[in-house]
Amino acid sequence: MNALEVEFVRGARITSERARILGACAKSLDIRLSCHAPYFISFNSETQETREKSINWVMDTVHAAHEMGAYIIVIHAASYGKSPETALPSVIDGLTKCKNMMDDEGIEDVILGVETMGKKGQFGTLKEIGQVMEHVDGVYPVLDVAHVHARGIGCLKTKKDMQDLTDEFFLLCGKTAHFHISCIKYGEKGEISHLPLDVKEPDMQNLADVLADSKRDCNFICESPLMEEDAVVFRNMFPKYRQ
């Protein structure tokens, strides 16, 4: 219960002064902060204007994260749209420009986190994110477990399935493994909506069991509709917290 994601999904509208105040408060309470960048980012947009604005939206979030001491920003990078073949190079191009701007400004404490996406029409498999990492320093994956489950049409059925997923993730994630957790409703095209943990789609107990003895530094952000309640439910799935 010591991590919080600051939702800038409609835009990073915050003053530097307020960001610093919030960051100092979080630090005093030993709360690790992350930030979610705006949903309307699309590096593979059909319009050049949106691609350019996407860079600005990422950088606005980077600046807010930097001021408040958040260690990572979470990005929905692109949709495939009418040109799926251009998605990977477009994401690489956009994030390269962002990273170059960060370097020019001396911002070294913020990770560009690309989220695994739940719809088949969206850019964001672990493999794709790994390909971006080959070209852009400072990029790491954010593993939304429910999104992977939905995109794979219910693929995370067993503890072994979850073990295989985390093994793949840990090869890419860097120092801290950043997770989003929830359950999910899905259809033929993948994600439909997030659901509470008691739905067990997927069963998050399998994730807790796989990670129970892990020595990795893991950060969990609950995205269930019952956010606070399910954050406690998930914590209590780990042996040391069980009553």
The CA dihedral of 23, 25, 29, 30, to the nearest 10 degrees, is 10
Query: How big is the CA angle at 179 (ends 86 and 149), to the nearest 5 degrees?
Result: 65
Q: Are 107 and 67 in contact (CB under 8 A)?
A: no
Tens-digit pLDDT profile for residues 131-176: 999 999 999 999 999 999 999 999 999 999 999 999 999 999 999 9
* DSSP SS3 for 119: strand
CATH architecture of the domain with residue range 1-115: Alpha-Beta Barrel (3.20)
Question: What is the residue whose two structure tokens read 């954050």?
Answer: 231
Q: What is the reported pLDDT for 243? A: 63
200 neighbors 183 (Cβ within 8 angstroms): yes
The Cα 156–Cα 150 span in angstroms is 9
Q: Give the pLDDT confidence score for residue 241 in this predicted structure.
A: 83
Residue 80 is predicted with a pLDDT of 97
Query: Rounded to two decimals, what is the model's pTM?
Result: 0.96
Region at 46 (left for phi over 0; alpha for psi -120 to 50; beta for the rest): alpha
pLDDT band for 240, please (50, 70, 90 cuts): confident
Q: Is the pLDDT of residue 237 over 70?
A: yes
Q: Report pLDDT for 183.
A: 98
pLDDT of residue 242: 75
Residue 64 pLDDT > 80: yes
Mean pLDDT over each residue of the chain, to the nearest integer? 97
Average pLDDT over residues 206-230: 96
Pairing mode of beta strands 32-36, 72-75: parallel
Q: Which residue has the tokens 């994401």?
A: 91
Identify whether the C-beta of residue 145 lies closer than 8 Å to the C-beta of residue 207.
yes
Q: Which two tokens stand for residue 203?
A: 């069963």
For residue 166, which amino acid is it? T
Query: What is the three-class DSSP state of 140?
Result: strand
Question: What pLDDT, in 10s, does the model give residues 111-136?
Answer: 999 999 999 999 999 999 999 999 99
Parallel/antiparallel/unpaired status of strands 111-115 and 190-195: unpaired
**What dihedral angle (degrees, nearest 10) is formed by the CA atoms of 82, 84, 87, 88?**
-170
Query: What is the amino acid identity at position 163?
Result: Q
Instruction: Give the tens place of pLDDT for each residue, 6-61.
Output: 999 999 999 999 999 999 999 999 999 999 999 999 999 999 999 999 999 999 99
CA pair distance 123, 118, nearest whole angstrom: 9
Q: Is the pLDDT of residue 5 over 90?
A: yes
pLDDT at res. 235: 96
Give the tens place of pLDDT for each residue, 71-108: 999 999 999 999 999 999 999 999 999 999 999 999 99
For residues 51 and 42, the answer to whether their CB atoms sit within 8 Å is yes
CA distance 105 to 196: 41
Tell me whether strands 176-181 and 139-144 are parallel, antiparallel or unpaired. Answer: parallel
Report the pLDDT averaged over residues 179-193.
Answer: 98
